[in-house]
């Protein structure tokens, strides 16, 4: 708290006015009862230390040392220390699978399976039929094979791990051929050339940024070649004078030389999104049919499950990948594995997916329904933000997110909020965005063109916005 110029010097507290830890503790018996002596003592000491520092620089008001004020400060401090750092937020950014916001939401069935199996022993690596040791992969391998048509499957922590493991297991110490048009950076530290080096393989680039031909791959194959690799350019698109070699052609080339073809699909939807009028992503089952020997994809992108890296393909290669020592370090934990199994089981009832799988439900929400929601919420938000802001309902363009189909937009609807005063627009918008983030359930929108855009596609319950409007209005004064 900044010192106020108007405060009379005599009202400042001095270090000697600060009570002892014991005295403060004696005033909060219920707090000690609730959280235990050790925790509350630590917080009381830290609180009094902080007050002492402020008293030393003459910044502490006497009123802050009133018994009631001290009690409240300690209670607030304890509550803040015990509050979870990971919290639910309301995603009105327009990006459905938002990496910064935890990507896919888990289905009820996945949550239920986690709840039902994580607080008790389970058969994670125990074969109930034989009574012997089991393999955790077998919990999902059957489902993955059934859904994708693969011979075998294994799973790891995420798709980055899947790619790393595949390259290491099949290409370590040898050469891996990739098109220059597919040397992707997914974000953060995942860049294909670096992954290749980390896996101990030598990257052999072929073709150019915009055009790679079958003959480029053919010419690069030599005695040191371990495999051909295809990387889905999930988060960008090269347009114009382009050429790439499709999987079927590449598979023919690879197999003619006795080499495997590995495909990193990135998102990899297990169902054809075109049936709901959505932009199409390639399916792992199509890649396998085209002749890919190994296909990797994410569990928490379009699949709609927990973080996971799924590896499906021909048994001989999956076995080599599974037995590679690095697999143990990258294996899935039981918690997401339980969620993944339940999520995959939902795919056995494809007609119900848009109801049972939150990611698909949000992606397929009818535009008319979102528009009605915008019309419903408009007067409430107007009431809370007038006269400082002008609020209107508007069509907007969302996106699937997580690198899926980056160029395609999802027609959506929502509320657009613009500062009413021409002056200080940027500050007013930042203040509004900050107040929305400070709500008990933080609301995240998108600032563009001097406006704040709230895309309602992912607003499951009106109440998440409506019930928080009085708090928002108060925060904005």
Ligand X SMILES: *Cc1c(COP(=O)(O)O)cnc(C)c1O
Select the residue interacting with ligand X from 148, 159, 225, 359 (CB under 6 A). 159
Select the residue interacting with ligand X from 291, 306, 336, 403 (CB under 6 A). 403
266 binds ligand X (CB under 6 A): yes
104 binds ligand X (CB under 6 A): no
287 binds ligand X (CB under 6 A): no
298 binds ligand X (CB under 6 A): yes
Give CA torsion, residues 78, 79, 85, 91, to 10 deg. -160
The CB-of-266 to ligand X minimum distance in angstroms stands at 2
231 binds ligand X (CB under 6 A): yes
The CB-of-204 to ligand X minimum distance in angstroms stands at 19
Nearer to ligand X, 44 or 160 (CB): 160
Select the residue interacting with ligand X from 137, 141, 175, 264 (CB under 6 A). 264
Nearer to ligand X, 301 or 365 (CB): 301
285 binds ligand X (CB under 6 A): no
The CB-of-171 to ligand X minimum distance in angstroms stands at 16
Q: With CB under 6 A as the rule, give the number of residues binding ligand X.
A: 16
195 binds ligand X (CB under 6 A): no
160 binds ligand X (CB under 6 A): yes
Segment near ligand X (CB under 6 A); pick from 140-148, 262-270, 376-384, 469-477: 262-270
304 binds ligand X (CB under 6 A): no
234 binds ligand X (CB under 6 A): yes
Indicate the residue whose CB is closest to ligand X.
Answer: 266
Nearer to ligand X, 179 or 234 (CB): 234
The CB-of-301 to ligand X minimum distance in angstroms stands at 6
Residues that bind ligand X (CB under 6 A): 158-160, 163, 184, 186, 190, 231-232, 234, 264, 266-267, 298, 309, 403
């Amino acid at each position: 708290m900044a010192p106020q110029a108007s405060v009379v010097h005599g009202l400042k507290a001095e270090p000697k006015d600060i009570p002892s830890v014991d005295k403060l503790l004696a005033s909060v018996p219920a707090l000690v009862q609730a959280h235990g002596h050790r925790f509350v003592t630590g917080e009381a000491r830290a609180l009094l230390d902080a007050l002492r520092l402020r008293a030393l620089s003459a910044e502490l008001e006497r009123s802050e040392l009133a018994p009631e004020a001290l009690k409240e400060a300690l209670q607030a401090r304890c509550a803040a220390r015990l509050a979870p750092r990971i919290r639910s937020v309301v995603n009105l950014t327009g990006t459905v699978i938002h990496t910064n916001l935890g990507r896919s939401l888990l289905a009820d069935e996945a949550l239920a399976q986690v709840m039902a199996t994580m607080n008790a022993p389970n058969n994670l690596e125990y074969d109930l039929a034989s009574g012997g040791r089991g393999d955790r992969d077998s919990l999902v391998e059957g489902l993955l094979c059934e859904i994708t048509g693969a011979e075998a499957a294994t799973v790891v922590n995420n798709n980055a791990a899947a790619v790393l493991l595949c390259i290491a297991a099949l290409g370590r110490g040898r050469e891996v051929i990739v098109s220059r048009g597919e040397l992707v950076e997914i974000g953060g530290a995942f860049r294909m050339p670096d992954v290749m080096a980390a896996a101990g393989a030598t990257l052999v680039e072929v073709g150019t940024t915009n055009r790679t031909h079958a003959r480029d791959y053919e010419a690069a194959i030599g005695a040191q070649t371990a495999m051909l690799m295809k990387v889905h350019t999930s988060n960008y698109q090269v347009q114009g004078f382009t050429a790439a070699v499709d999987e079927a052609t590449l598979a023919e080339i690879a197999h003619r030389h006795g080499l495997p073809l590995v495909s990193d699909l990135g998102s990899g939807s297990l169902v054809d999104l075109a049936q709901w009028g959505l932009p199409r992503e390639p399916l792992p089952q199509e890649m396998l049919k085209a002749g890919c020997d190994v296909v990797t994809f994410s569990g928490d992108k379009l699949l709609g499950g927990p973080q996971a890296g799924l590896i499906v393909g021909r048994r001989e290669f999956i076995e080599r990948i599974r037995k590679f020592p690095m697999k143990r370090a990258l294996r899935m934990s039981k918690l997401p594995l339980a969620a993944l199994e339940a999520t995959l089981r939902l795919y056995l009832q494809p007609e119900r997916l848009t109801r049972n799988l939150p990611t698909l439900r949000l992606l397929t929400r009818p535009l008319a329904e979102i528009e009605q929601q915008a019309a419903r919420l408009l007067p409430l938000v107007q009431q809370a933000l007038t006269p400082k802001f002008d609020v209107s309902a508007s069509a907007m363009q969302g996106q699937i997110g997580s690198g899926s189909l980056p160029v395609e937009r999802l027609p959506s609807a929502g509320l657009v909020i613009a500062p009413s005063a021409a002056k200080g627009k940027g500050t007013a918008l930042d203040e509004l965005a900050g107040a929305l983030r400070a709500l008990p359930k933080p609301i995240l929108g998108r600032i563009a063109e001097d406006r704040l855009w709230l895309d309602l596609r992912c607003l499951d319950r009106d109440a998440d916005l409506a019930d928080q409007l009085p708090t928002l209005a108060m925060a904005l004064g």
